[in-house]
Amino acid sequence: MNNKIMAMVVVAIIVVAGVGAYYVLSDNGNDDGGIDLVSSGNYLKIFGNANGDDILDSKDIEIIQSYVDGNIDSSDLIEVTESDRNETYYLADANLDGSVDVQDIQVLNGIIDRTGSEMSLIDTFGHLVTVPLSIERIACDYFATAELLQLVGVQSKIVAASNALVVLQDYYLQGANTDKVVNFNSRTSPDFEAVAEADPDVWVVSEDYGPVYGNNTDAVVVGLDTLVFDFDNIEASSPVHSALLAGYIFNNVDKAHQYVNWYLEKWNMLHSKTADLSDSERPRVLYTGYSGYIADQSNRTLRVFLDNTVCWQAVELAGGYNIIDDAPFEITPSTRPTSNVNIDLEWISEQKYDYLFAHCTRYTGSGGITAYVPDHGYTCDDPSDYIESQKGLGSIEMLSYSCSPDNMYLTPGDYMNGASGGILSAILVACVIHPDLFPDLDLQEEHQEYIDLMGFDYDLSQHGVFFVENN
């Protein structure tokens, strides 16, 4: 057993709906247009980033030096709060010794030029963590993290992966030495000792599984320390924040900025045309899961997605109205990491809606295959199963009463479980419900752009099943 202390990086991607101060980075990573990243919560929370922007540079050094020289006081320094102990720190305190001084400039320079040994940061759950600057071995748990690692160009360093990634290694582990990658089984109940024996420098996981990762005694036994990024906190957690952190953690800031630019460009493209739509201009949408009643009509519940999920936010960003918002009863989310709830059919059966989307997850967090979910995704080239299942939605009496079968669609799990930040999900929904607003929007072209951004060797014109139009 290896008792090496590891940092576990948790990254799950979700569309941010309602957070202001969106921006597109300039070529050098700085934006001089007056955008307030601090108020958006999406700035780079690495100690040393004294001005709270998206990059560590001379401007941060100038602020620290100005404080040391007495030209500014502590009220001018950005403060961050650590969630576990509710302690407040100055972001300018790069070495976390409790004071801002010239030693922080030395530490910051070591981070910028990668001559230092480590850096400290506040993750998107608010945890204070320290990671090594030199990372050569990575454990990775699921689709979003595999894509994120590809986005910052370090997928070849994966030495341990969940069974889901091993099963789909031809796509998700491109560039890794798959013959030597350790399979630690389920991401929801991982073999901690297998992870430790793989000897990774960091363990990258895609959601906060709380008791499974951060508070699990088995993780403590094998010396696993956790770094958690929460993407379910809308204001404080976003693809922007996670990408900026990943860029520095894995030493590829330029690639991270490319992703941020891509994400924000697409977000702004959608938001600019849908933000001002009235409720009456927004088609009514039920976004459910391909489970429960849909999979088995003897089941009297239906899965719905709440406002902290990619699915709900994709509808909002695309210009739709989530009918679940009209529910006259309180819906209490299950304990995280569950991002959906099952509700009784009675209320749903009485609703009218314009469109239905059913989210499909073929490969589970445990790496197993959900047999009743139609085959689709990157490893599927035959759409027949997907088409048949989509047509089958219209034959379900309760659904067809509420919505035209022609307006019922399956959505791929890859769009929610990947690292696109829900953008691809939102583009899919926008293409369906607002063709008048987005006449030139092509889902396949947008998806291929994202694949190319990651650097994956994959041609959507030849492979993959993700979305089919109803004839």
* Stretch 444-457: mean pLDDT: 95
User: Which of 225, 236, 247 lies closest to 148 in space, CA to CA?
Assistant: 247
Most confident of 139-143, 387-391, 395-399: 387-391
* Stretch 430-438: mean pLDDT: 98
Most confident of 86-100, 293-307, 322-336, 411-425: 86-100
Q: Is residue 74 scored above 60 in pLDDT?
A: yes
Return d(Cα 437, Cα 417) in angstroms, integer: 27
Q: Considering only 24-28, 74-78, 207-211, which range has the smallest mean pLDDT? A: 24-28
User: Which of 400, 369, 377, 375 lies closest to 387 in space, CA to CA?
Assistant: 375
Q: Is residue 259 part of a domain?
A: no
Return d(Cα 211, Cα 12) in angstroms, integer: 17
Q: Is residue 113 part of a domain?
A: no
Q: Is residue 97 scored above 70 in pLDDT?
A: yes
* Stretch 211-222: mean pLDDT: 57
Q: Is residue 446 part of a domain?
A: yes
pLDDT at 236: 37
pLDDT at 169: 92
Task: Provide the residue type at 271 as one letter.
Answer: H
Q: Is residue 351 part of a domain?
A: yes
Q: Which residue has the tokens 């991401």?
A: 187
Q: Is residue 288 part of a domain?
A: yes
Q: Per-residue confidence at 235, pLDDT binned at 50, 70, 90? A: very low
pLDDT at 231: 40
> What's the whole-number average pLDDT of the chain?
84
Find the CATH number of the domain harbouring 431.
Answer: 3.40.50.1980
Q: Per-residue confidence at 8, pLDDT binned at 50, 70, 90? A: low
pLDDT at 31: 44
Q: Is residue 296 scored above 80 in pLDDT?
A: yes
Domain containing 394 equals 277-454
Q: Which residue has the tokens 């770094």?
A: 227
Q: Is residue 177 part of a domain?
A: no
Residue bearing the bigger pLDDT, 9 or 424 = 424
Residue bearing the bigger pLDDT, 131 or 159 = 159
Q: Is residue 79 scored above 60 in pLDDT?
A: yes
pLDDT at 7: 54
Q: Is residue 417 part of a domain?
A: yes
Residue bearing the bigger pLDDT, 32 or 125 = 125
pLDDT tens-digit map of 131-146: 899 999 998 888 888 9
Q: Per-residue confidence at 58, pLDDT binned at 50, 70, 90? A: very high
Q: Is residue 25 scored above 60 in pLDDT?
A: no
Q: Is residue 448 scored above 50 in pLDDT?
A: yes
Q: Is residue 1 scored above 70 in pLDDT?
A: no
Residue bearing the bigger pLDDT, 50 or 349 = 50
Q: Per-residue confidence at 125, pLDDT binned at 50, 70, 90? A: low
Contacts of 440 (CB under 8 A, 6+ apart): none
Instruction: Report the predicted TM-score, pTM, of the whole model to 2 decimal places.
Output: 0.89
Total number of domains constituting the chain: 1
pLDDT tens-digit map of 243-287: 888 899 999 999 999 988 998 899 889 999 999 999 999 999 999
pLDDT at 49: 96
pLDDT tens-digit map of 313-345: 899 999 999 999 988 877 766 544 455 677 878
